[in-house]
Amino acid sequence: MVIKVFLASSSGSTAIKKKQQDVVAFLEALKVDYTPLDIACNEDNRAWMRQNVPEEKKPANGIPLPPQIFNEESYCGDYDTFFNAKEDNSVYAFLGLPPPPGSKAHAYEEEELEEEAE
C-alpha cells in the first residue's frame, strides 16, 4: 500500500504550504512511507487528483486544493480530515493502514478485539 500525498511545490498560498508541511512532517514522524506527487509541475498528477477526489468531498468551486491524501487509489481525505484524524489519534485508520506493533493505536485495536471476543 502506497500513501500518495498530492502537493503543490509552487503554491502562492502560505496556508496551503503550511498544511502540506504539517501532513508531510507528521507522516515522516510516524515513519509512514508515502509518495509526494506534485500537481504544480505535473499535469497528469493534477488531473488524476482532481478526477479521483469524490464529488461530495470537492469544494463548491469543484477544484480540490492540496494536500489531498490517497491510499493507492482509495481517497483518504484532505487536510481538514487528516487534522481531525490526528486530533482523534486515528491517523492509521484514516490512512487505511494497520497501526504498527507497540503503538498506542495498536494496543487500543487489540483491546477492542479482545472485548469483541468475550
Per-residue model confidence (pLDDT) at position 5: 98
Per-residue model confidence (pLDDT) at position 12: 85
Per-residue model confidence (pLDDT) at position 102: 73
Q: Which three cell numbers stand for residue 50?
A: 482532481
Per-residue model confidence (pLDDT) at position 108: 55
SS3 72: coil
Per-residue model confidence (pLDDT) at position 99: 86
In the chain, how many domains are there? 1
Q: How many residues does the chain have?
A: 118
CATH, residue 58: 3.40.30.10
Tell me which residue range forms the domain holding 36. Answer: 3-117
Instruction: Report, as ranges of residue numbers, the positions in the chain whose pLDDT lies below 50.
Output: none
pTM for the model stands at 0.84
CA distance 30 to 24: 10
User: Is omega for the bond preceding 59 within 30 degrees of 0, making it cis?
Assistant: no
